[in-house]
Amino acid sequence: MKLIAPSVLSADFGHLADDLEMINRSEADWLHVDVMDGTFVPNISFGFPLMEPMRKYCTKPLDVHLMIVHPEKYVERFCDAGAWSVGFHLEAVDDPLPILDLIKAKGVRTCLTINPDIDVKRLVPYLDKVDMVLLMSVFAGFGGQKFIPETMDKIRFIKAEIVKRNLPTLIEIDGGVNADNSAELFAAGADVLVAGSAVFEAKDPEEVIRKMKITG
């Protein structure tokens, strides 16, 4: 699969409806929604109050990426707020399984995420228990960082595991993704590419999204 998920973190919150309309018009597949708590990551983004207008004005599925401690306290509320998928960080929890069950019980798709300093092998036991794994290609917390090249081998490793076991699990990549590296990322086995600054800071965001899909 070759999907593009622009990250609303880089949108203009003063004109959010306009940016969401651009996403609706574009060939983007999902809207990536970055939630940061100032504790798991050294930055605070937004929370539930923005889910409402995003659900109202955005026709694309909301792909929620929780960068928070204690995701077990909040995953159900994000499901109720209209998330299409909910992901949280493996390194933020002791046992992800009961939290995945909370999301599944709401009929929402699940995603497990790891930062670049977490061994990618730690995802392997969960590959058949989630809809998607998200490999961070920068350290979670901020948009506009540079892609970490070591991510490429991690994609190939996790893709090989998924193919070996014939699983439907998707691989999402987040951080420093742009129209120059999208083709390589898709070729390595990525299914979903998140792009924040590359899309929203572009003169013609729709063209960037189109280019990322075509080159993929």
How much is the CA Rg of the chain, to the nearest whole Å? 16
- CA 85 to chain centroid, in Å, comes to 9
The nearer residue to ligand DX5, 31 or 79, going by C-beta atoms, is 31
Among ligand DX5, Zn ion, none, what binds residue 177 when CB lies within 5 to 8 Å by partner kind? ligand DX5
Residues ≥6 apart with Cβ < 8 Å to 53: 16, 17, 20
Q: CB of 135: closest distance to Zn ion in angstroms?
A: 11
The nearer residue to ligand DX5, 98 or 149, going by C-beta atoms, is 149
Using Cβ positions, the residue closest to ligand DX5 within the complex turns out to be 196
Q: CB of 166: closest distance to ligand DX5 in angstroms?
A: 29
The two tokens of residue 8 are 């609303």
Fill in the amino acid letter for 16. L
Among ligand DX5, Zn ion, none, what binds residue 175 when CB lies within 5 to 8 Å by partner kind? ligand DX5
Residues that bind ligand DX5 (CB under 6 A): 7, 9-10, 32, 34, 65, 138, 140-145, 174-177, 194-198
| Sign of the dihedral defined by the CA atoms of residues 177, 178, 179, 181, in that order | negative
The nearer residue to ligand DX5, 176 or 216, going by C-beta atoms, is 176
The nearer residue to Zn ion, 100 or 194, going by C-beta atoms, is 194
Among Zn ion, ligand DX5, none, what binds residue 143 when CB lies within 5 to 8 Å by partner kind? ligand DX5
Question: 135 pairs with which residues across the strands?
Answer: 114, 173
Nearest CA to 41 out of 109, 100, 116, 95 is that of 116
Residues that bind Zn ion (CB under 5 A): 34, 65, 174
The nearer residue to ligand DX5, 189 or 196, going by C-beta atoms, is 196
Among ligand DX5, Zn ion, none, what binds residue 37 when CB lies within 5 to 8 Å by partner kind? none
Q: CB of 205: closest distance to ligand DX5 in angstroms?
A: 12
Q: CB of 204: closest distance to ligand DX5 in angstroms?
A: 17
**Residues classed as catalytic:** 34, 174
Q: CB of 21: closest distance to ligand DX5 in angstroms?
A: 20
The two tokens of residue 189 are 């086995």
